Copies of this chain bind each other. A is one copy, B any other.
């Protein structure tokens, strides 16, 4: 059996460890043959494949990024896209099935291809931890560690200058990174997309931390919206989504907090450093295990499913179960954390 492997969507620490896990177990235990697919679904559409042997994956568990490259191509778009063309391309290269490592969009495409008869196995990838059907996804722990380390640093400079420090972390639709990094670093305010807050509520928490003699530390997901923010923007004839990409929500918050509380406030947008570099040990183990189990699933012919973490076990779930609704932060988990700064 000859299997193609692709990584698609934003990159994520642990992708290479998954690839290594699949190839090592697939070749040594099951005598499968593998090809790498370049740049996600683009490589499928373009027939851009290369041999992937044990030699290519050595030492990869600690290497960030993906040796396969990635893109945001949709396999149903373009003249060579669509299930029929994909089936032809795979047949032409003698490829019997695909492992697609990716997030919501990638898995939705995989689901559709699968329903259209292409053998696809999924491995969930989301640095934001926004996929249902898996307790955690690799990359998330690394991102939380990087954000926590950054916030530890911001705290000392905040303390020295008696400033309010804001860290803006990843999370367009869900607040897991902010929630975990905020708990880990001891933030005094955690702002996540799932829980809108008003500027008054935020300033109240900032002031209370300051009154206790602390330099207020705020963590905010990039996708957080102030209560009434859309209204305020449209009142001014502005579009909140038209704000400069990197000049994120933290840069809207900082001057507002400073103005209202009188506490000097500085913001830092952590940005791309959260998704790069060597994965944490947790992510390397999780990614490797997902890869090993993906190899098992390949020989079992578990097409149309993805491997996932449940408790300490790796299980298989149908694509449909992972898709649709996002894995948002439950209110109860937010309130649990809020007890620390409430």
Contacts and interface: CB of A to CB of B under 8 A. Distances in A.
Contacts of A342: 28-29
A11 B156 CA distance: 9
A146 B60 CA distance: 19
A156 B64 contact: yes
Nearest to A333: B312
A153 B277 contact: yes
A273 interface: yes
Interface string A55-88: 0001111111110011100000000000000000
Interface string A244-285: 101100010000000000000011111111011110111011
A240 B106 CA distance: 42
B340 A184 contact: no
B339 A148 contact: no
A183 B69 contact: no
Chain A: interface size category: 35 or more
Given A185-B61, A281-B148, A154 B266 contact: no
A67 to B, nearest CB: 9
B280 A145 contact: yes
Interface of A: 7, 10-11, 13, 15, 20-21, 24-25, 28-29, 54, 58-66, 69-71, 135-136, 141, 144-150, 152-162, 165, 180-181, 183-186, 212, 214, 244, 246-247, 251, 266-273, 275-278, 280-282, 284-285, 288-289, 292, 310-312, 336, 339-340, 342
The 3 A-B pairs of least Cβ separation, nearest first, read A153-B276, A153-B277, A64-B156
